[in-house]
Amino acid sequence: MTTLNASRRSQYTESTVSARRVDAFGTTEQPSEPFAFGSEHDQLRATVRRFLADRSPETEVRRLMETDTGHDPAVWRELASLGLTGLLVPERLGGAGAGAVALQVVCEEMGRALFCGPYLSSAVLATSVLLAAGDEDSQARYLPGLADGSLIGTLALTEASGSWRVQDVATRAEPDGAGGHTLTGEKLFVLDGALADLLLVVTRDGLFAVTADAPGLTREPLTTLDATRKQARVTFDDTPAALVGAPGDVAASVADALDIAAAALAAEQAGGARRVLEMAVEYAKVRHQFGRPIGSFQAIKHKCADMLLEVESATSAAYAIGWSLDTGSTEVGVLASLAKAYCSEAYYHCAAENIQVHGGIGFTWEHPAHLYYKRATSAEQLLGSPGYHRELLATRLGI
C-alpha cells in the first residue's frame, strides 16, 4: 500500500473538495491552498474498498453482529499488514505517519461497508489520546503495538450520564503507596471495551493505562441498538493503573483526541450516507409501479436530490477537519464540532429516507437498510449528540 507523503500535498490535482474556514464572526474564507485528493488517496481508497468487499461483505457483517466481540482476528491482522492500523502513528514508532485525511479515507470506506472491528476504538481513539498526551514513555510502550495490530486499545471516558466531558467524570484515581495508582469507578458505552488489551481510562485527575489482565477489572458486553459496533460496561475496583502524561493535562489531551475522532467518525458517516443514497437510487431505477420506474415519480426524485445534497455537504464538512488537522489550522475544534453535528443528522436522514424509498422491503430483517439506519442512529450519539456539538461550537466561537 502506498502511504501519503506530506511533501506532495501541493501536487494534488484530482477530485477537489472545498474546505472553507469559519471565523468567529461566522464568515468564511478560502484556505490559501485548496484541498484536493491526490493519486495516493485514490490508490488508498481503491485498496481499502477492494479489501472490504472481499473481507467484510454483508454476510460477514451479519455473522460478526452475533458474536460478543464483533471482531475477526484474521481480518484485523490483514488490516495491520496493509498498514491501516497505524496511519496516525509516527514512522519512528512503527506507523505510517500518513495523517488525518488518509485516516478519513479509510473510515469513509469502512462506513460504506459497515465494517465490524475495533478500528475507531484502537486505531483512532486510543492512538490519538496517546499522541495528544505527549508522554514519550507511554507512546514508546504502546504505540508500536497499536500500529502493527498486535495490541487493541480503547478510550474509556463516558459513564452513566453519557457525557463526553472530562468534568463530568466520577471515576477516581488514588495513589497506591508504591508510586502507582489504583482506579475505582465504572465506565459505560466503552467501544470494544470487552475486547481491548489496553484501556486508556479518563479520570478527573488524569489519563491512566489499564491492561486487560489487571486485578479488579470487570468487563461486560452491552446489548445496544447497533450490533455492528460493540460496547461494554467496564468496572474498576482498586484496579492498578499507570499514569499517562501530566495529571493536569487530561482535559486538553482528551479534547484533542476527540477532535481527531470526530474527523474519523464524520468521514465514516459520510461514507455510510453515500452508500444508502446509492442503494436508494439503484432501487428507484429497477422498482416499477404503474408501468414506470418509481424513480420517475416526483416525490422519489425530491428524496434522492435532498439526499445527494446532504451527502456532498457531509463529505465536504468531514474532510475540512482532516485538512485542517494536516495543515495545522487553528480552526480544528470549530470544524470538528460543525462536521460532527452536520454529518450525524445527514447520515440519519439519508438512512431513514433509504428505507422510505424501498418501501415495505426496506423494513425487513433480510434487507441491509436497517443495518445502516441503526449505525446512523448510534453514530449520531457517539462522541456527543448534534445538540451537544452545536453548544460546543458556540463555545469555541466565543458566542
Query: Does some domain include residue 9?
Result: no
Find the mean pLDDT for residues 324-330: 94
Structural domain ending residue among the three candidates 98, 122, 152: 152
The whole-angstrom separation of Cα 215 and Cα 153 is: 18
147 and 20 share one domain: yes
Kindly state the percentage of the chain with pLDDT values over 90: 87
Structural domain ending residue among the three candidates 221, 249, 277: 249
Element (H, E) at 293: strand 292-293
Structural domain ending residue among the three candidates 249, 267, 298: 249
Query: Does some domain include residue 286?
Result: yes
The answer to whether 304 and 295 have CB atoms below 8 angstroms apart is yes
The answer to whether 48 and 106 have CB atoms below 8 angstroms apart is yes
pLDDT of residue 386: 97
CA neighbor of 336 nearest in space, from 396, 379, 377, 380:
396
pLDDT of residue 33: 57
pLDDT, averaged across the chain: 91
Query: Does some domain include residue 134?
Result: yes
Domain count, the chain: 3
pLDDT digits (tens, 9 = 90+) for 26-47: 333 444 456 788 899 999 999 9
The answer to whether 55 and 71 have CB atoms below 8 angstroms apart is no
The whole-angstrom separation of Cα 143 and Cα 126 is: 9
pLDDT of residue 83: 96
Position 141 confidence tier, pLDDT thresholds 50, 70, 90 = very high
Structural domain for 289, as ranges: 251-396
312 and 364 share one domain: yes
pLDDT digits (tens, 9 = 90+) for 75-101: 999 999 999 999 999 999 999 999 999
pLDDT digits (tens, 9 = 90+) for 116-133: 999 999 999 999 999 999
Residue with cell 456532498: 312
pTM: 0.90
Find the mean pLDDT for residues 178-194: 95
Grid coordinates in use for 239?
Answer: 484496579
Q: Reply yes or no on whether the pLDDT at 8 is more than 90.
A: no
31 and 126 share one domain: yes
CA 162 to chain centre: 17
Grid coordinates in use for 21?
Answer: 474556514
